[in-house]
Amino acid sequence: MSENISQIENLTNQLEAIQSHYNNHLNEPDNDGHLINLIIAIFDYMQYYIISEKGFEIVNMNWASNNDLYLTTEDELIKGQCIFRASLFLTVSYQLFAFFIGMLQTAESISEDILNKCFQPDDPQKKIIDKIKILYEIKNHTNMDFPNLHKIICELVIVNDQHLSSILKTFNFESAMLYNQEKRRLFKDAIFGELRMDIPDEDIETLRKKAMPIND
């Protein structure tokens, strides 16, 4: 009995966290970080785990400080570090926005009859339908405006893609190689797969020190 109560309390806390992130987004609509944390919280509630510990570090960096540093420093190496960190943030946000749009579009395509249908445990549709039901559960227990969120994120994912593409075009071979390595550290292995490279660890670490976050 106590285990059931604990599970209910945990789900309640997760719903409150989702509502809190949504409120933060409403209060600061220009802060993409609130939207990203909102989507992460929603996926966590759905038990759809995407972001790694490194990904969380990137999302929750002090981006105002990073942007100020880029604008004020005359050191080209530091500017490059700021840009590289931005590329990782844009990668996280782009992938999360794209996944979330896909989830919302899937939900919109499923009729009420299908949602209420009883599936066999081994039916491949059951897993998808169960996830969509959780999405409706979130909708019913918060004041989130999903259609408006869908519209906002569809606009943001285009802008993010443009910004990220512009940055990646400026990377030299070393930066591009490190980016392909580091972006996989932002997500669980199921997203991009585990990268295997014939490059000594010490060489990768040297590159990482040149481009990684301020406190690394």
Among 60-64, 113-117, 129-133, 201-205, which range has the highest average pLDDT?
Answer: 129-133
Domain contains 8: no
Q: Indicate the number of domains in the chain.
A: 1
**What CA–CA distance (Å, rounded) separates 121 from 127?**
9
Tokens 């960190």, located at residue = 85
- Gyration radius (Cα) of the chain, Å: 20
Residue 136 counted as domain residue: yes
Q: Is residue 20 part of a domain?
A: no
C-alpha torsion angle, residues 37, 38, 40, 45 (rounded to 10): 140
The rounded mean pLDDT for the chain is 83
At residue 177 the predicted structure's pLDDT band, cuts being 50, 70 and 90, is confident
Tell me which residue range forms the domain holding 89: 51-211
Residue 57 falls inside a structural domain: yes
* The residue type at 17: A
Residue 180's CB is within 10 A of a number of other CB atoms, namely: 14
Highest mean pLDDT among 39-43, 80-84, 210-214: 39-43
pLDDT for 199 beyond 60: no
Q: Is residue 179 domain-resident? A: yes
In a domain, 167, yes or no: yes
Domain assignment present for 10: no
What's CA 199's distance to the chain center, in Å?
28
Tell me: pLDDT of 216 over 50: no
Give the model's confidence band at 112: pLDDT under 50 very low, under 70 low, under 90 confident, else very high: confident
Q: Assess if residue 24 is contained within a domain.
A: no
